[in-house]
Each structure stands twice: as C-alpha cells, then as structure tokens.
Amino acid sequence: MRSTRLWIALTAASWLFTVFLLPGWLRPDYHPLAQYISELGATGAPHAGWVNWAGYLPSGLFFAIALASFWRHWRPRGVQAAGLALLFCEPLAWIGSAIFPCDLGCPAQGSLAQNLHNVLALFTYTGTALGVTLLACAANLQRWQRAGWLLLVVLWLGLFVAMLAPELASLRGLMQRLGEALMYGTQAVVGWVLVARRPPALPPAH
C-alpha cells in the first residue's frame, strides 16, 4: 500500500511541477491559458530539453509505475483489467512527448515528430475514454460510481473537442489542464483510497 501511494504522490507532484511550475521558471513568455502543455517542450522552444527530460519523461515513468503498483495490489480481472490496461496509454503519451516533441505552436500537421505527437495524443484521449468506460462497467459498482466514471469520460472528451475549436484557441491551454486535472486527479484519489482496502477475492479454482 505504501509503495503504491508513494508512486501516486510522485506522479501528482511531477505533473504539477511540469504543468504549473516549470512554465513560470523557464518561460516567462509562455501563456498557460492559451498554449498547450506540449508547447513547453516544442522543438526550438527555450529550455525544451529540460522540460522534456526533467518534466515529461519522469512524469510518465512515475505514472506507469503507479499504475503497475496498483495493478499488483488490486489484481483486476475481466472488464476492469481491460480498462486499467488502457490507462497505460496516459503515461505512454507523456513519455512519447519527450521523445517526439511537437513543432512550435503544435500545428495539426508538421514534421514527423509532430505527426507522431498528434497520433499519441489521439491514442491517449480515445484510449483513456474507452478505459474509463470499461471501468464503469465493472461488477459491484454502485450506480453513482458508474455515473461518476461516465461523467468523467464526457468531460474528458468534451474538453478535448473544445480545446481544438479555433474560436476557443485563447483558452485551449486552460481546457487541456482542466481535462487532465479532472482525469488524472480522479484516478489518483480513487487509487489512493482503494489501495487501503482489501482487493476483491480471486474466484475459487476448479
């Protein structure tokens, strides 16, 4: 339990450091309300190497280890295992952002790294939405718990679509951060609570 909570705490701290503290320290010209998180580590951006290798990469690694540690404790099965497995696309995207940084401005089309960056983003948003939807279908959940997971999916995808709208470009950074805070924050809180509980009993062997 303690190790899982440690990795959850490290993931949260690393995400907050990368998303909120690094911009102020390294990029006074950066506008978090209007600019994507990935623009901090864009090719050619000031201090991009620091952001990618000291921000995105460790955040992704901490996230992956936290998920793996929770998996080992909770021993998910069936649809719950499938849903939790899909959540690994989230740390994969953070690690991928360090390896394949976007171009300046994060355009829809650009260099090979930009195109791979976009594919990772699409994979992350759709994979996360499907994963959380599967978690909502797990057995023994109360009705409000299922509704909460599904509402989270709606907000996650809604904010993703909204941040891509040209007329909302001045707020796309805010919407991206809000979406990630809701999704990752909910997962962190749920994981923190569940690791203090006894995992579901395994079915008897036949």
Residue 91, domain member (yes or no): yes
Is residue 183 within 8 A of residue 152, CB to CB? The reply is yes
pLDDT computed for residue 26 by the predictor: 83
Band (pLDDT 50/70/90 cuts) for residue 202 is: low
Residue 173, domain member (yes or no): yes
Residue 205, domain member (yes or no): no
pLDDT tens digits, residue range 79-107? 999 999 999 999 999 999 999 999 999 99
List the end-to-end C-alpha distance of the chain, in Å, as a whole number.
30
pLDDT computed for residue 201 by the predictor: 63
Residue 201, domain member (yes or no): no
Q: What is the mean pLDDT of residues 55-61?
A: 96
Element (H, E) at 183: helix 172-194
Is residue 85 within 8 A of residue 123, CB to CB? The reply is no
- Please tell me the distance from the alpha carbon of residue 99 to that of residue 118, in angstroms, as a whole number: 13
pLDDT tens digits, residue range 104-133? 999 988 999 999 999 999 999 999 999 999
Count of the separate structural domains present in the chain: 1
At 104, list the tokens.
């300046």
Residue 136, domain member (yes or no): yes
- Please tell me the distance from the alpha carbon of residue 46 to that of residue 48, in angstroms, as a whole number: 5
Q: What is the mean pLDDT of residues 40-54?
A: 93
Least confident range from 7-11, 26-30, 74-78, 157-161: namely 26-30
Q: How far is CA 103 from CA 84, 111, 131, 189, in A?
A: 31, 7, 29, 34
pLDDT tens digits, residue range 173-198? 999 999 999 999 999 999 999 999 87
Residue type, 62: F
- Please tell me the distance from the alpha carbon of residue 124 to that of residue 129, in angstroms, as a whole number: 8
Name the percent of the chain lying above pLDDT 90: 85
Residue 200, domain member (yes or no): no
Expressed as residue numbers, the domain containing 160 is 2-194
Residue 41, domain member (yes or no): yes
pLDDT computed for residue 58 by the predictor: 96
